[in-house]
Chain A
Amino acid sequence: MLNLLNGPQTMGRGRVFWICAALVLAAALVYPAFADPYDVGNFGYFLIWIFMALGLCVMWGLCGMLSFGQTFFFGIGGYAYGVLAIILGNGPAATIVGLFGAVALAGLAAAVLGYFMIYGRISGVFFGIVTLSFTLALAFFLGQTAGPEWAIGRARLNGFNGMQGMSPLSVPWFGGPVVLEETALYYVLVAGLTATYLLLRVLANSRFGNVLVAVREDPERAELLGYDVRRYQLIAFVLGSALAGVSGVLYTSWGQFITPSSIGLPAAAMPIIWVAFSGRTDLTATLVGTFLLLVGFQTLTIYSQETALVVMGALLAATILFVPRGFVVGIGELLARPRRKRLAPALSPDDARP
């Protein structure tokens, strides 16, 4: 299985890449020893969002389905975790049930909606807009739950002001449970993200991943070759959406707060921006690019005040115009170019054309 870590569907292979990756991971692990607690917490906060970016990378980059629905499942996960954590109370057992329950619910919702759309042969741009409609409908719905009648047990959805008062995730540990905050949360996120990233790499290079790419390149051809295209699409959609649910749970636990504005526009467009900027066809690019973009946008907002959004928009447009395959993929290809001449011509995962 480990040999599937490398393959045609993922950039970066060979000793140099893996040594670099190990160094980055090691640096991430020792980072809290040198940084002040705020930076560690903030760093961890960025990692929360990467799960949903990776999910979008799987369904859009690998399988060609542009979904505006990442924040829909983010919201399902977040709100479900909130409800469960409020009803079940704190402590590792309760919050971990909350985590898995919420992610399962997000996955289930994705299975139902995905079935509706994918088996209804909705594709291309329309897939994006139908998912956007779902997302906006959920945001509108949650926005109007301000009244006391919108409560599940003790958990009030609380409309636009958002749900709050849920206990943060905690894990059992030697010498008593540890609440996942700051440094503890950071380490769990680093571990979780590393595991997710490696598993998705294996998946992408497995037979399953190859079929996904075949579907992206030409669904009809894939179908004629005997694959049940819709089943593959549905699995990719559920997987990607469940990852958005993971982000939702983590975000809610991190701030003990979630509102409908994390679901509606403009939040719904953000994952697409991250992934497109990074290079949607590659997991590593998505991982690195999303992180850089999150750091970059926050830094811009802090230092450039009211011009931040102008700079962001201009940067984004410039990236798309001048680095067509995505920023990180572009750099990755630049780095790989001299090696590629010596090696066999790499399969170029061409742009997903809708």
Chain B
Amino acid sequence: MNRRSLLLGATAAPLLGLGHFAQAATPIKIGLLEDISGDLASIGLPKLHGSQLAADEVNAAGGIMGRPVELIHLDPQGDNARYQEFARRVLQRDKVDVLIGGITSASREAVRPIVDRLNAFYIYTNQYEGGVCDGSMLSVGAVPEQQLSTLLPWMVEKFGKKIYTIAADYNFGHLSSAWGNSILKPLGCEIVGEEFIPLGVSQFAQTIQNIQRAKPDWLYMLDVGAAQTSFYEQKNAAGVSLPMASPVKIMLGFEHKRFPPGVMKDMYAAANWFEELDTPGAENFKKRWRAKFPNEVYVNDMGYNAYVAVMMYKMLVERAKSTKKDDIRQVMAAGDAGIEAPEGRIVIDPKSQHCSHVMRLISVDAQNKVSTLKDFGDIKPYWLSQVGCDLTKSDPKEQYTPDHLPTR
């Protein structure tokens, strides 16, 4: 199109009443950063699929405010520097309206300074260690108060008060273990052992023996990454059979689809999504997913959250009638911004910009079968607002932890 036809178009459009149509045709761009190569590809792929499914459904239903959705996906290969490069690229070059993605907390922290500087809007889709109080970010995954304050007391009641913690030597591991202690100690529990394992370690003979020496009632598992999941196989081979609780197994790593039966026996987890969920909404969602991606090994909670993120964004834009961050933040600040997700209704907490979730307790038996043991109902993300994060009033753009609290 040369300049003259552009000019012609610009003058002709209002005359013909096409102004609205021309605007409607410009797509809403979603920048997507998900690893589909490298170490974390097994998690990144379902996330990409979730976003693609959501985009298809949104477009089939007429887009967002009549505008189609366009996904711009780049693969950072699990490399934090690539996350930085690509966050800049999609925000500055492609001028996307929203940035979605990132797997590890490190990748989220790599992206966040760039998002803040470019005054963009970012949705983090993973369940994580919690604590990010940043007005530019919406978190749709579950956080410790949702997963742990449901799961751990139940474990104590059912199995006992002697607990052995095995955690990845990683922020997530340290923080979740601290979270666990803060929940378990008031219940009169004794942490008979606490061990941090470097990322990438795959041999656990010493750990297994320490466990046997400490004789806990159950194990609190916070391992991360494929190498560390070798623990389960090795523990079983040594004849250690204890109940286990984890916020990241089963619904995230789908170990019960990858390991032979028996290895994940007696693993308990609290999940907002797992593929075995059988509510009508969930069944319908799974059917749509499987129709588009028939070879998916497991529809895990990361992929599900990625789907929810796009739907949540659609709702926010439609209510704000704008893709501007400030307008969207006003909608989030209202306190009732939410959607009917496959898990149930989830709502954005205005103070922390994290989502409420319907949490359920699940377990794996010796045949790798997952069953739902308890429905905790709707659990709100309360910790951040409790310690003083209120994004409706101020925007500190910080990650708080129990040992790094906001100064009031």
A and B, direct touch (CB closer than 8 Å): yes
Residues of A whose CB lies within 8 Å of any CB of B are: 36-39, 41-42, 45, 140, 143-144, 146-148, 156, 158-162, 164, 251, 255-257, 259, 261-262, 267, 298, 301-302, 305-306, 308-309
Chain B residues with Cβ under 8 A from A41's Cβ? 88, 92
Bound form: Cα–Cα A41–B404 in Å: 33
Chain B residues with Cβ under 8 A from A262's Cβ? 80-81
1/0 per residue, CB under 8 A from A, across B163-185: the answer is: 00000011101110000000000
User: In the complex the two chains form, is B174's CB within 8 Å of A38's CB?
Assistant: no
Bound form: Cα–Cα A306–B105 in Å: 22
A sample of 10 inter-chain contacts (CB < 8 A) reads A36-B93, A39-B93, A146-B171, A160-B104, A162-B106, A257-B109, A257-B113, A305-B36, A306-B37, A306-B75
1/0 per residue, CB under 8 A from A, across B202-224: the answer is: 00000000000000000000000
Minimum CB–CB distance from A109 to chain B (whole Å) comes to 22
Contact (A37, B170) CB under 8 Å given A143-B199, A161-B105, A261-B106: no
Bound form: Cα–Cα A255–B114 in Å: 7
Picked from A38, A42, A259, A309, the residue with its CB within 8 Å of the CB of B110 is A259
Contact (A159, B170) CB under 8 Å given A259-B80, A262-B81: yes
Chain B residues with Cβ under 8 A from A309's Cβ? 37-38, 77
* B154 CB-CB contact with A under 8 Å: no
8 A-B pairs with least C-beta separation: A38-B92, A148-B403, A146-B174, A161-B171, A38-B93, A146-B171, A255-B84, A256-B113
Which of B41, B73, B93, B109 gathers the greatest number of chain A CB atoms within 10 Å? B109
A49 to B, closest residue via Cβ: B81
User: In the complex the two chains form, is B198's CB within 8 Å of A140's CB?
Assistant: yes
Bound form: Cα–Cα A148–B174 in Å: 10
Minimum CB–CB distance from A185 to chain B (whole Å) comes to 13
Chain B residues with Cβ under 8 A from A148's Cβ? 401, 403-404
Bound form: Cα–Cα A306–B82 in Å: 14
A181 to B, closest residue via Cβ: B117
Minimum CB–CB distance from B65 to chain A (whole Å) comes to 27
User: In the complex the two chains form, is B404's CB within 8 Å of A156's CB?
Assistant: yes
* B74 CB-CB contact with A under 8 Å: yes
1/0 per residue, CB under 8 A from A, across B380-408: the answer is: 00000000000000000000010110000
Residues of B whose CB lies within 8 Å of any CB of A are: 36-38, 41, 73-77, 79-82, 84-86, 88-89, 92-93, 104-106, 109-110, 112-114, 169-171, 173-175, 196, 198-199, 401, 403-404
Contact (A301, B74) CB under 8 Å given A162-B110, A306-B36: yes
Minimum CB–CB distance from A307 to chain B (whole Å) comes to 9
User: In the complex the two chains form, is B171's CB within 8 Å of A308's CB?
Assistant: no
Chain A residues with Cβ under 8 A from B37's Cβ? 306, 308-309
User: In the complex the two chains form, is B88's CB within 8 Å of A160's CB?
Assistant: no
User: In the complex the two chains form, is B113's CB within 8 Å of A143's CB?
Assistant: no
Bound form: Cα–Cα A42–B86 in Å: 10
Chain A residues with Cβ under 8 A from B88's Cβ? 38, 41-42
Minimum CB–CB distance from A114 to chain B (whole Å) comes to 27
Bound form: Cα–Cα A159–B196 in Å: 13
A147 to B, closest residue via Cβ: B174
Bound form: Cα–Cα A256–B106 in Å: 13
User: In the complex the two chains form, is A255's CB within 8 Å of B170's CB?
Assistant: no
Picked from B76, B85, B169, the residue with its CB within 8 Å of the CB of A144 is B169
Bound form: Cα–Cα A309–B88 in Å: 21
Minimum CB–CB distance from A48 to chain B (whole Å) comes to 10
User: In the complex the two chains form, is A259's CB within 8 Å of B106's CB?
Assistant: yes
A254 to B, closest residue via Cβ: B84
Chain A residues with Cβ under 8 A from B74's Cβ? 301-302
Bound form: Cα–Cα A38–B99 in Å: 16
User: In the complex the two chains form, is B109's CB within 8 Å of A161's CB?
Assistant: yes
Bound form: Cα–Cα A62–B259 in Å: 52
Minimum CB–CB distance from B166 to chain A (whole Å) comes to 15
Contact (A301, B77) CB under 8 Å given A38-B92, A41-B88, A259-B106: yes
User: In the complex the two chains form, is B199's CB within 8 Å of A160's CB?
Assistant: yes
User: In the complex the two chains form, is A164's CB within 8 Å of B36's CB?
Assistant: no
Contact (A159, B80) CB under 8 Å given A36-B93, A144-B196: no
Bound form: Cα–Cα A37–B199 in Å: 38
Chain A residues with Cβ under 8 A from B199's Cβ? 143, 160
